[in-house]
Structure 1
Amino acid sequence: MDVLAALFPSVAVALLFWFVVRAMVQGDRRERAAMAELDRQERERAAREASRGTPREAPDLPPQ
């Protein structure tokens, strides 16, 4: 029983570390998927505008 009591803190910290790293990796995966989807949508929009001959909006530049 003393062995289990001695190992419990290390096992608990290892599990906590594993859950935190797993959550970070999954969050990164979801963020990359969302960014890829946004990039795909932007490319599609740009292709539609190019095929229609619609100019893209120019960024607001300060007067010189």
Structure 2
Amino acid sequence: MENWWVNALWSITPTVLIGIFFFSVLRLILRADRTERRVYREIENEERAKLGLPRPTPQTAPDKVAPSPQPAQRGRTGCST
């Protein structure tokens, strides 16, 4: 019975380790993105202050991009023979 538990542990170990690795890489990417956005926002606010412009409102903030309009639907084109 002891051999069964050792085999089970060795079977699940690679999956758990890869899961932990994936989680940590994804967490690092998200943290880096959040930090980059914060620094960009600080730089933009400093530049706006130098130029005497008002701070951006939440509706016009660079993070909030308006959705692009959908292109018009086109009919089928082609020759009928």
TM-score under structure 1 length normalisation? 0.72
Tell me the number of residue pairs that the alignment of Structure 1 and Structure 2 aligns.
57
- Stretches of 4+ aligned residues off by more than 3 angstroms: 4-9, 57-60
Unpaired stretches in structure 2, ≥5 consecutive residues: 60-81
Identical counterparts, % of pairs:
14
RMSD: 2.1
Task: Report which structure shows greater RCO (CA 8 Å, sep ≥6).
Answer: 1
Structure number with higher helix proportion: 1
Structure with larger Rg: 2
Unpaired stretches in structure 1, ≥5 consecutive residues: none
Q: Give, in whole Å, the separation in 1 of the partners of 2:58 and 2:19.
A: 41
> Residue 29 of structure 1 corresponds to which residue in structure 2?
28
CA shift for structure 1 position 10: 2.0
TM-score under structure 2 length normalisation? 0.59
